[in-house]
Amino acid sequence: MCTDSIIGLNIIEAKTKANILAEALPYIRRFSGATMVIKYGGNAMTDPQLKENFAKDVVLLKLVGIHPIIVHGGGPQINQMLRKMGKENHFIQGMRVTDSETMDIVEMVLGGWVNKEITSLLNLHGGHAVGITGRDNHFIKAEKLFITTPENVQQDIGQVGEVKAIDTALIKEVVEHGYIPVVAPIGVGERGEAFNINADVVAGKLAESLEAEKLIMLTNTIGVLDKNNRLLSRLTPNDIKALIADGTLQDGMLPKINGALQAAMHGVHNTHIIDGRVPHALLLEIFTDNGVGTMIFGQEQAE
């Protein structure tokens, strides 16, 4: 390739980057100072390059004046550790059955291994991240969750909790001091006992409590799909009700969609379920005109 051709390609590439930055500028202005809760999970947590991309994206959000708050899962890592310990994995309606021994492993993996890996990666890329769990300052208060079976029977699934209340004082203080909170979804009961809480549920409740600008959930799909695997880019409460009733939404998508819907219905301005397998999916969602994935509306008349 001749020198002129190389120069021409470099100019085109530079113009493309300039156009991307120009497109991002109004969104940077709009969201400066805004709080965004990001549920981090799926392949974005296990693929090395995607992990690097995610960390860089979050640090960039902080640098342009946005306040990202990370709530992470850790299902694959928990499964891996349980297998090493000779324990089987059991799920009911997308919720992990958690006996006391499993709870110890969950807390060790989420509050230790996974949480510290994320905070370290963010710090490596220039962020100032602090890892916490809901037991720190007892800021996520929980109570025991019972699953209702199709036969309308209340089923005990162990030390699995639902969010009773969130005290946002600790999170707000961390943010005010310039740090990025990284939250492991472990709650605390009235007697100080630990509860395993679905990370999607925690992210939704935290976004509600903080009156966040956005709740963004990273998944391993392109968004919410219909029965023909076509992307549903916009969903209202009635849409979601119908999709659950006909079985389109089930298992692990249920807590995710319910968390997003409840957040949208209780003050969070925008809630999104996006494909975490796409490089820089966060930036595409926040800083481009088209966005990616599915947007959840809290009312029937989606504006």
Known binding residues are 74-75, 96, 196
39 within 8 A of 281, measured Cβ to Cβ = no
For residue 33, the surrounding DSSP H or E stretch is none
Q: Coil, helix or strand for 13?
A: helix
Residue entry with tokens 């969201």: 31
Radius of gyration of the chain (CA): 20
Which of 287, 128, 260, 271 has the alpha carbon at shortest distance from 204? Answer: 260
Instruction: Name the residue with tokens 């769990």.
Output: 133
Residue showing tokens 């961390």: 174
DSSP state, 125? Answer: T
Rounded Cα gap, residues 175 and 250, in angstroms: 35
Polymer length in residues for the chain: 303
Q: What 3-state class would DSSP assign to 1?
A: coil
What residues are designated binding site for substrate?
74-75, 96, 196
